[in-house]
Structure formats: structure tokens, C-alpha cells
Amino acid sequence: MNIAVAQSGGPTCAINASLLGVFKGAIRSDKIDIVFGSLNGIEGIINDDLIILNDYIKTYLDFEKLRQTPSTVLNSCRYKLPEYTEDASVYEKIVKNLKAHGIGAFFYIGGNDSMDTVNKLSKYLTEIGSDIKVIGIPKTIDNDLMITDHTPGFGSAAKYVATTVQEIVRDCSVYSINSITIIEIMGRDTGWLTAASAVLRANGEIAPHLIYLPEVHFSVQNFIKDLKRVQQSRRAVVVAVSEGVTLSEEDINSEFYNETSDEFGHRYLSGVGKTLENIVRKEIGCKVRSIELNVMQRCSSHLSSKTDIEEAEQIGVMAVERALKGESGKVMYFKRVSNSPYTVVIDSVDANEIANKVKYFPLGWINSSGNNVTDEAVDYIMPLIQGEQDIHYQNGVPIHFKLNS
């Protein structure tokens, strides 16, 4: 049989490592002939926009470049499948195109919304009696998927966040005047990635002095009080704040409350840092700046975590093995066995256990004041950022895998 693989959602440093894992798992099996790549996620299956990956991934250097390339080499999408009970036409297109290419298994690498697609498509295939397998492979820097201990992509993003925050701390500390620096970090409605800034404690770093996560309601009044308190002992105050911090009732009319949403109902989040910068300038009056890490935290492969990349590849290989054993409608996940030594096992779970559910940062890992995280958070994140990739360079910069080079 042949198989197909697609990538969906936001880019990460690890999603192409999972693609490589699927490809490796396929070429190692005598049951699989051709590996198709679906361009732009599930849209590629719907529109019959497929390529034969065997024609592109041929050499050892191809493997190495693909593993270290950030973003999604097959491109992505944010397409929301309708319920097949309401509109089966798109499902009929998918099945028609899969059958036309002799595809017996489809692997979808992505986050929460992608697992929604896995769940819906697998249910439809079961309903019509099809033996085509569908397996989800997790990926998101937000680390917000249920069941799995962590998601591929998070470790590398966390390593970038911690490293960059540390460098910002050095930059902020050079002048004798009082200053406040607010660093806005991604993570959607969860605080996992922002909490990663706290791992600097392991190296004796005190900053960031304040950390604000979406899991606790954010009060501008308390924020200003926190800053003034820290300023009594620190000349340069560094704050890490999640893009999705939740507003208190008195702040609900704040200018950074954004009503715009994507197709899955997620608010477009940005501008929290700049808004807080303006508030601090008005309320405190010292030198203040905001820094939005933005897309750099998703795709900075030169700072990727070796642990993250290796696990992302392994989970792709395991997904193929599970499909060949007859599993379908499943999502692969990590189960942490121990922290010291760090050990995980890879397993699968029904897609409906993950799709459309959110794993929030534990409230027990947030301090009682709601302005920092505990050492338990550091212990959880530390193993995920370990190790450095052996990056291949050309002319002084990393080389990337490109379909059309």
C-alpha cells in the first residue's frame, strides 16, 4: 500500500522531524511502497494536491536537512472539517483521492485543531466501512494537548524563550537608570511557554522577576503594585507575560481584548506587551519597553532542543508502526516515566480524548500571588530543553530542506 502525510497548524522546529520519522518508518517497511506528501494539510487531500516524497528525500544529507529545517516543508492550513452528518461532500472527495492513489494510511501532524480533523475523518471512514487508517501525530509549541506529557515543538520553543529572555536580561542590566522590560510570549490560552522563562533559575538567574500566565486572571492594578514592589530592590525589572493573559472584570474593556477569531474560534492574540508598556509609562513613568518574541520562538532551529527533535522523529516512526498494526483514529502521545533519568514511552490514544480539549498549565504550579511559577514547573520543563542539534551550515548559515530549491 501507499501512505500519505500532511502537516497542519502553526510552524515549529520539530514538525519536519516528525515528517522524517514517518518517512523513515515507511521506507523501513516492506508493506509500504510510496509516501505521498499532502500540500497545505488536509486541503492537499481534498484538492488532490499530492507529491511523491520518495522523489525528494533521497540522500543522507536530505535526511539531515529535513530534520533541522523549521516550519512545515509541506506547507500548512487551518482548515476546519465540517461534521460529516451535516456535509459529507468533502469527506467523499478525501476518500476518492486517497483511493485513487492507493493510500491505505494517512498521518496528520499538528495541534489540537488537527486532531479534530483526525477524529472526524476516522469516524467517517468507520461509518462507511473503509479500512483506510488515520493517525494523528502531535505538534504544538503551546504544549496544550491533553493526555500527552508534552508536545513535539514545545521543548525547542521553550529553549529559545529561556535563552532569549536571558540575553534580554543582560541587555537590560547595563544602565544605571530604572527600567521595566515586558516580554510577550506565545502560548495561546495556556501559559506553558511563558513559564519556560523560569528555567533560568537553574543557572542562578533571578529574572524574569514577574511571570503572568492566562490561567490566572490578570489585574492591571495588581500588576502595577507588583512592579513597584520589585523596583524597591531591582533597578532593571524584567517581566514575562503570555499573549493570552485573562482580564479581570475591571479590565474587560482593555484595548488588548481582541474579538477577532480564526475558523476554530480562537482569538487572535497580540499586543498585550505594547498595551502594558503604555500603562506602565503612564502609571510609573520610568524607562519601559515591550518585546514581542513573535514567530521567532516557533522556528529558531539553531536553538532547537536535541531531546525535542529526537522525540519528534521517534513519534513519527511509531505512528507508522501503529498504523501497520491496524490502529486508526488514534493520536500518538508521550508518557513520562521519570525525570531522573528522564524517560518517556510512546503510546496511542483515541483521538476523541484529545480533539477539542485543552491542557492548561497546572494552577498548583503558579504561586499564590499569581505572578510567578513554582519549582515544579522548572523540574517539568528542564528535561525537554536538553541537548543541542548538530546543525549543518553553508556559507555561515544553517541549510534548509526545500521542495523547490
Strand partners, 106: 4, 134
Helices (H), 264-392: 272-283, 296-299, 306-324, 375-381
Cα–Cα distances in Å, from 244 out to 62, 193, 271, 278, 358? 38, 11, 10, 18, 14
Residue 142 annotated among the catalytic residues of the structure? yes
Helices (H) and strands (E) in the chain, counts: 12, 15
Between the CA of residue 224 and those of 180, 221, 230, 342, what are the distances in Å? 11, 5, 10, 39
Using CA of residue 369, residue 173, residue 232, residue 270, what is the dihedral sign? negative
Q: 13: which DSSP letter?
A: S
DSSP assignment string, 116-153: HHHHHHHHHHHHTT---EEEEEE--TT---SSSS--TT
Backbone phi and psi for residue 299, each to the nearest 5 degrees, phi listed first: -130, 25
Q: Are 121 and 128 in contact (CB under 8 A)?
A: no
Q: Residue 350: count other Cβ atoms within 10 Å of its Cβ.
A: 14
Centroid of chain to Cα 225:
33
- Of 87, 113, 131, 142, catalytic: 142
Q: Return d(Cα 315, Cα 107) in angstroms, integer.
A: 12
Q: Active-site residue numbers?
A: 142
